[in-house]
Chains A and B, each alone.
Chain A
């Protein structure tokens, strides 16, 4: 039986070394490039010959745009408009990465914590910079909830600071853990199909059901990542 974790192995395709840093082009990078290319082609081709009554493809693109647009408006408010392109790119990139991972023999780059933590840190640092630019020193008032008795403050402030720093970790952990666990489970069940002979029908049925679940997770996790980014952005913009 093939090792169910083999699918996460990173293979170097073009070795590149910058100084002491290994910046090789790997299968992970390849699939990121494919994801970006797929999103770009999808979004530009579908709206190239626009019609008042959209066809199927144009309809999909418009629905996605509207979906993210509503998400930003509901969670960030109208002041979140300038950040819509960022959230939309993030959402489409993660969604395409998750869905590409569902193709057999492909590589799921969102199942690596290096990738998800990179994106989460981008959101985290970005929102912190926005909060600083918007509120200046008042930003630190974030860590002391209003009306806290003074004797609680020495305990509460470190907890609030730590809770702020857990944001990128829990954000990235959720995406990474869901994708890794789901794909591993799929492989484990698939491995049982031949090993169990005729009784392999049972894990086969489980595999089919799990594939459906994985598609749900792929879309849901992209949504969750984007919504949480919106909520962090909301906190940064509208500190009370």
Chain B
């Protein structure tokens, strides 16, 4: 878990800073985009860490499965499939966090 979170934070910062640096070089706006993307990257890293820590995987735009089903067909109870996938994904997070 700890290492996964560390990797997320570092990756967020590295990607943000990298994109900012490249865009700055390309557009000649140094250092502004670097600063902006650095903080955006930090935010993305923290977001990923938060999602890992709260057991939401790394799913982007994550929504619980039942919410998605309610939207589509309000009356229908989610089939066993949806529920199953969700619980199993939850069960697997212990492995992912290592």
Which 9 A-B residue pairs are closest in the complex by CB-CB distance? A170-B11, A240-B68, A163-B44, A162-B44, A169-B11, A145-B61, A166-B11, A74-B88, A174-B7
> Which residues of chain A have C-beta atoms less than 8 A from B4's C-beta?
174
Query: Is residue A227 contacting chain B, with contact meaning CB distance below 8 A?
Result: yes
Chain B: interface size category: 35 or more
Chain B residues within CB distance 8 Å of chain A: 3-4, 7-8, 10-12, 14-16, 19, 37, 40-41, 43-45, 47-48, 57-63, 65, 67-68, 81, 85, 88-89, 91-92, 95-96, 98
> Which residue of B44, B81, B92, B98 contacts A166 across the interface (Cβ within 8 Å)?
B44
Say whether B12 contacts A166, CB under 8 Å.
yes
- SS of A interface (majority): helix
> With A and B bound together, what is the CA distance between A178 and B10 in angstroms?
14
| 27 pairs, A vs B, C-beta closer than 8 Å | A74-B92, A75-B89, A78-B81, A141-B61, A143-B60, A143-B61, A144-B61, A145-B60, A146-B61, A158-B40, A159-B47, A160-B61, A162-B40, A166-B11, A166-B15, A166-B41, A166-B45, A169-B15, A170-B7, A170-B48, A174-B4, A177-B7, A223-B95, A227-B95, A228-B58, A239-B61, A240-B61
Tell me, rounded to whole Å, the shortest Cβ–Cβ distance linking B49 to chain A.
10
> With A and B bound together, what is the CA distance between A157 and B37 in angstroms?
13
1/0 contact trace for A133-162 toward B, CB 8 Å? 000000001111110000000000011101
Tell me, rounded to whole Å, the shortest Cβ–Cβ distance linking A13 to chain B.
32
> With A and B bound together, what is the CA distance between A170 and B52 in angstroms?
12
Chain A residues within CB distance 8 Å of chain B: 71, 74-75, 77-78, 141-146, 158-160, 162-167, 169-170, 173-174, 177-178, 220, 223-224, 227-228, 231-232, 234-235, 238-240
Say whether A159 contacts B96, CB under 8 Å.
no
> With A and B bound together, what is the CA distance between A167 and B45 in angstroms?
10
> With A and B bound together, what is the CA distance between A231 and B57 in angstroms?
8
Known A170-B48, A220-B98; further 19 A-B contacts with Cβ < 8 A: A71-B92, A75-B88, A75-B92, A77-B81, A143-B60, A144-B61, A146-B61, A162-B16, A162-B41, A163-B60, A164-B60, A166-B11, A166-B12, A173-B10, A174-B7, A177-B7, A231-B89, A231-B96, A234-B89
